[in-house]
Structure 1
Amino acid sequence: MANKHYVTERDLKELNRKLKVGDRVYGVVSIEQSMSPWEDSQLYVERTVTSRSWITGQWMVDGTMSVADMVHTGGAYLQPPAGMRNLAGPGPQVAGPLPAGQEHDRTLNESELTYLEGRVATATRNDASAGRGRSGSRWW
């Protein structure tokens, strides 16, 4: 069965007849590319039908948003849209560990190694002094 895209008022009425508490509804979210160019332009979000609004009678998703709002702001699906990634899922990996021996683009000289070792020692001292439980150190 094809995944129907609910976008009109007639679709909303049909969707309201099909849904029940606990069903999952999927919506499409557009991502601003200027802030995160590595991200996909559209992702889907998964929401759970929790109750009916006592004022409007519309189904509510996650307790705060109605299904009508989802339909009016981009549409709703009953199955995840094909070819899209879940917003709550892991993002694309834009960097990763380099192969062993290729961590740096050149060999580090003695002064750079000394500097890095000093940074590690300072961080270790700061971590040790941040601990609680020493005499005179109270968290309240």
Structure 2
Amino acid sequence: MARQTFFRTERDLKTLTKLLKVGDVVYSVADIETRMSPWEDKQLYSTHRITGWSGLTRQWIVDGSSWTVATLLHQGGVYTEPPAGMRAMSTPGPQVAGPLPAGQEFGRDLDDAELARLEGRVAADRVQHRKDGRGLKGHKSKWF
């Protein structure tokens, strides 16, 4: 099949219905929410295999479920080849954590101002931790 993209019109759906057959693979694109995971790609594609024909809806069934090609079409388009420049949902995402190579733990040396700020944060956390622990180490709690 030539690379074609079908969007949300009835004409596109009719054309797509005529081109597909059982065993073909189609691709749909999903928008990913990146507020909680800003390292994730904004769009990923999914792979769907045509597994049958529904006489009730007169549409191709995908992945042996109640989903049809029309459902995918109305969610953002159907591609007959993998979209260029996009990562599949089934592939691992970019690595954002983990051990760095030895000798490259930091990209640069920390200056005195940054060290002082970090030490101040550690000291403030220790004070807050002591305050949170009051009443638990043999002292009477104000709340009980």
Q: What are the Cα deviations for residues 41-90 of structure 1, in whole angstroms up to 9, with x where unaligned?
A: 00110100000112111001012210001111101000000110001111
Equivalent in the alignment of 1:100: 102
- Determine if contact 2:60/2:68 at 8 Å carries over to the other structure: yes
Equivalent in the alignment of 1:4: 4
- Determine if contact 2:27/2:80 at 8 Å carries over to the other structure: yes
Deviation at 1:37, TM superposition (A): 1.0
One of 68, 71, 87 as aligned partner of 2:70: 68
- Determine if contact 2:2/2:80 at 8 Å carries over to the other structure: no
Deviation at 1:102, TM superposition (A): 6.2
AA matched with 1:68: A
TM-score by length of 1: 0.68
Identity %: 60
* Structure 2 residue runs without a partner (length 5+): 107-144
Greater Cα radius of gyration, structure 1 or 2: 2
Matches of 1:2 and 1:22, distance apart in 2: 16
What SS does the aligned partner of 1:27 have? strand
Aligned residues: 105
Large movers: runs of 4+ above 4 Å: 101-104
- Determine if contact 1:3/1:81 at 8 Å carries over to the other structure: no
Matches of 2:2 and 2:55, distance apart in 1: 32
* Structure 1 residue runs without a partner (length 5+): 105-140
What SS does the aligned partner of 1:36 have? coil
Q: CA RMSD in A?
A: 2.0
- Determine if contact 2:61/2:68 at 8 Å carries over to the other structure: yes
- Determine if contact 2:29/2:46 at 8 Å carries over to the other structure: yes
Matches of 1:5 and 1:102, distance apart in 2: 45
